[in-house]
Structure 1
């Protein structure tokens, strides 16, 4: 470990040893230090720029994903509203037709819930080994019950083997004893559960437990029934999507006896479409502005040119070209095939402009509303093509991730170079300091000898003058 160098002046020579050594070391290392500093600065800026670009791309893709949520469609041409969501909920699609309907829910579709005979032994009740058959409508499932089975172990086996089929079991203990209770998620008439093959577990789901000892608990299964403007509709499910074109009903509860029907209205969703399109435009513009910031040039207070972290970067330029290309491609719709038909146009700075007047004309005059969803979220729609354009760059194994990895390697290499240069600087400083100190010492000795000789001759001269 080299000794620290402090500012010093040679005692023998009067030279500024520290200053001389510093100047010589800087002369030797300055070029390399400048190179490392410049490359480190550029590399750090590039790492920062790649990170910012990936964040902007991810935010844009997240915005498109939100607009493409199938559970909350953002581009429906029609909006449906129920006057009583506690009875019936409604959603609309692009094939709906504006109108109003009066709907009564006469009954909900139900699923099967059955119970076995009651046993006083509780969950430990022993069950005969054999093959248990669980029937439901036209389907039949078989379970092998092994030796030593109990009511509890059968429950566990049913839950393990039948859960994927929507059938579950539990044990309920009441005043008359303990029963195995089975439930199904399948609704509709004639989907009652029936258990055969094991004497203790014989259950006929079409018969009442109250009278037979084993059977359905409350009632047999049934279809949903509703009337739409007086027309009767039956459904095995409480979700009905084929009664009125473009509408899906979720039945929540039956209409109270003697109660009025629920009004369901369907209207054009122009405002909703406008909001969703504006959200897309805003998300794209945010991305465009982020890229512009990363690639822009400017002037500092001394009028020197300042480059952005990704200015002239070929990858960023290629990405921007691929993204912009999607905006100009023709879609596969019948009438609506381009964004410009909806009033969306590219401005000089690369951002998008949304013209509300042109949009309103497209909705009201040209009736293009039903095709908006297909343009954005359909097969090979704008969102799909946008993601295909971005993924090669922003995916976890994309080109930007690869560049980040390479830049990190470069940063490590530059750090290693800096450490090596620091070691050389320290070593050279120590070496030169020792040499100049040795020189100063030698000069000091020579000066002392000269002083002695001078003193000797001065003494002789003084003696000569006296004589």
Structure 2
């Protein structure tokens, strides 16, 4: 905004009009401008502080979600290692027992793969209407086919109806024609698929008790006639393996009931034995506990930074971004309450039993490695850590519930950010109003002082004229 104040000296009065007006305007503006500036600076800092706190809480939640994962548990009390993960992988649960096991996989569990008889082009372009009854493990599903469907449309109808059941279909074309091939995600002996299309869809019938070679059209692998029907192209089989020399079978390649507390994933057949070693998951548990401690400490330190002011060398106090705001400390207190709450009167019920304690100096957590190792080796608490953190009403769940009021849409932090933005907008409007008022005042004072300067100039001119008249009269008198 260009200033209307002239820096020049008044021609009539000789006064520094620009300086006078500027001084008067500054005196009028100073108090309100100082108030707006201070409030704007504080509000901007508070908005930044809330943004930092929101980001920190989000990062803390992400860390807690990762630790609370059910697919990759972070607090397994035991670990299982395989000497040959290309054949067998192993996972230990909290009911496992330290020891070693020898596995040998002679056969993997496989799923059913069946195919219709080969169809020529005239058949694949005009499949008649009817109902396909697709059966697996004694359960049947009906798929209705509309008249003159193509083989591709039949495939798509089967997939849209049955993929959620683990059954899918595709088309394979060879020199004999096109076949509809069914696959399943269900493994294990006796889970082969049968298809009954009745009279109208007999070309799609599949006998789930017959075995067909890859190139045959109407005979099975033994050369026996399969009248107008397809058959099994790949048998569904059980997995066959031994554990410490004991022969076992499983309909799935994931075996969780053979050894208590252990889950085996059978990956491939192997001609040599695989050794599974089970031991206390000391390193893994320590890493997860330290991750929890670090995540909490990062949040706690930020809260201190945002709320605790500082005093410089000359004794001047400077407030932090959220000094005087109870929200950050209330949020942290809600988390501390859950950390300090005992969950059991026996066994493992608190973090202190694992060597995690609060530092009195700054409120952060620390992990005492010596106490932690003793909790695992002497007190055998490793198998209870997962339940403490992720069990029913576990620590991570309770912490999540405690901070939800702050982080949810429209929650405490969101409301605070909205309120601060409103204050910022109001201050901006006040600044605009002050600028307009000062502009008007400057113009008014400048106009008045310019008018005064003009009047003074006119008076000085009149005075000069009168003085000249008297001087002329005196001169005439003296001459006579």
Distance (whole Å) between structure 2 residues aligned to residue 69 and residue 392 of structure 1: 22
Distance (whole Å) between structure 2 residues aligned to residue 76 and residue 289 of structure 1: 29
Change (3 A) 1:43 1:147: same
Change (3 A) 1:27 1:383: same
Q: Is the 8 A contact 2:4 2:446 kept in 1?
A: no
Change (3 A) 1:17 1:7: same
SS at match of 1:277: helix
Q: Give the CA deviation at 1:333.
A: 7.1
Change (3 A) 1:103 1:399: same
Aligned to 1:390: 403
Distance (whole Å) between structure 2 residues aligned to residue 41 and residue 3 of structure 1: 25
Q: Does 1:465 align with 2:468?
A: no
The number of equivalent residue pairs is 463
Give the TM-score of the pair, scaled to structure 2: 0.93
Q: Is the 8 A contact 2:4 2:442 kept in 1?
A: no
Aligned to 1:427: 440
Q: Is the 8 A contact 1:337 1:375 kept in 2?
A: yes
Aligned to 2:88: 88
Cα RMSD, aligned residues only: 1.7
Q: Deviations over 1:228-252 (max 9, x none)?
A: 1111222111111111111111111
Aligned to 2:205: 202
SS at match of 1:54: helix
**Bigger mean CA offset, 300-309 vs 433-442:** 300-309
Aligned to 1:376: 389
Distance (whole Å) between structure 2 residues aligned to residue 334 and residue 121 of structure 1: 74
Give the TM-score of the pair, scaled to structure 1: 0.95
Q: Give the CA deviation at 1:50.
A: 1.1
Q: Give the CA deviation at 1:123.
A: 8.2
SS at match of 1:326: helix
Aligned to 2:32: 32
Aligned to 1:411: 424
Q: Does 1:249 align with 2:261?
A: no
Aligned to 2:17: 17
Change (3 A) 1:200 1:5: farther
Hey, which bits of structure 1, 4+ residues long, moved more than 6 A? none
Corresponding residue to 1:284 among 289, 293, 296: 296
Distance (whole Å) between structure 2 residues aligned to residue 278 and residue 191 of structure 1: 47
Distance (whole Å) between structure 2 residues aligned to residue 15 and residue 139 of structure 1: 106
Distance (whole Å) between structure 2 residues aligned to residue 352 and residue 169 of structure 1: 56
Change (3 A) 1:165 1:441: same
Q: Does 1:235 align with 2:250?
A: yes
Q: Deviations over 1:63-122 (max 9, x none)?
A: 122222222221111110111111111111111011111101121111111111112317
Show structure 2 runs of 5+ residues with no match.
214-219, 221-225
Aligned to 2:223: none
Q: Give the CA deviation at 1:293.
A: 0.9
Q: Is the 8 A contact 1:128 1:200 kept in 2?
A: no
SS at match of 1:184: strand
Q: Does 1:399 align with 2:412?
A: yes
